[in-house]
Amino acid sequence: MEWPNIVAGFGVGLLVGLTGVGGGALMTPILVLLFGVAPAAAVGTDLWFAATTKMVGGTLHHARRSIDWQVLRRLWLGSLPAALATLAWLQASGMGQTKNGLILKALGIVLLLTAVAMLLKKRVHALGQHLRGTKPDRFKGAQVPLTILAGAILGFLVTLTSVGAGALGTVMLVYLYPWRLTPARLVGTDIVHAIPLTVLAGSGHALMGNVDLSLLGWLLLGSVPGVLIGSHFSTRAPEAFVRPAIALVLTLVGLKLVTS
């Protein structure tokens, strides 16, 4: 039995359930740096890992009614077409199979952006609250197009690197919907947004041969109980400790990938 894979899956699943972040941002580097998986295969495998894990967490959030479906539809309008376009580009360029060095660099950059976003989340939230309060009409008028744009950015990043749907997505949402999304609804909405996105992107990578089904099975064996436990305690997660700790790890890993 592949205990290291099961333990890695459980730990990442736990973080996904608790905070809605940490999935691709941690799993893909773990697969590449610790398990020696090729970057393209790590991205494809992690997309299916994220899809399955977040289906479990999303079911729990749906039962607790902590999902904003209107915000989700706006995000999907941007993210799903962007994912399709990115898959077409990867297939046409051959990057999805051969350009592992470029994928590593892109992954490192996105990890650094994710770390910064996690550390600045409260400030970005405060800025959104300020603008929403001082310029309500202008702010609300820009919400829909900016949400679609945010979805498109996430669709591109997730399909290319498997990273971004969690931490970057939550930071975008706390700015765009500073009063509307409570912490529980923020996590639930972010998790459910990633489900069709990762299924679509993962399907494209599977067609390119970038999914290790055996490895995926062991990871899921650990992640499913992890995300169930994490989702149960999501409203009590010590965010002030968890986010800076994840951000530090992502910064170190991102720097290693960018400079390697």
pLDDT digits (tens, 9 = 90+) for 146-162: 999 999 999 999 999 88
Fill in the DSSP letter of residue 240.
H
Whole-angstrom distance, CA of residue 152 vs CA of residue 236: 31
Intra-chain end-to-end CA distance of the chain, in Å: 32
Whole-angstrom distance, CA of residue 88 vs CA of residue 75: 20
Predicted confidence band of residue 188 (pLDDT cuts 50, 70, 90): confident
More confident position, 7 or 173: 173
pLDDT value at 225 more than 60: yes
Whole-angstrom distance, CA of residue 108 vs CA of residue 180: 32
More confident position, 58 or 236: 58
Give pTM, 2 decimals: 0.86
More confident position, 82 or 91: 82
Predicted confidence band of residue 23 (pLDDT cuts 50, 70, 90): low
More confident position, 249 or 81: 81
Cβ(112)–Cβ(168) under 8 Å?
Answer: no
Q: Average of pLDDT values for 22-32?
A: 78
Longest dimension (CA), the chain: 58
Least confident of 1-15, 80-94, 161-175, 208-222: 1-15
Mean of pLDDT over the chain: 85
Side chain identity, residue 5: N
pLDDT value at 241 more than 80: no
Q: Average of pLDDT values for 149-177?
A: 90
What is the structure's pLDDT at 37? 87
| 170: nearest Cα among 214, 212, 117 | 117
In the block, tokens 């498109």 appear at 152
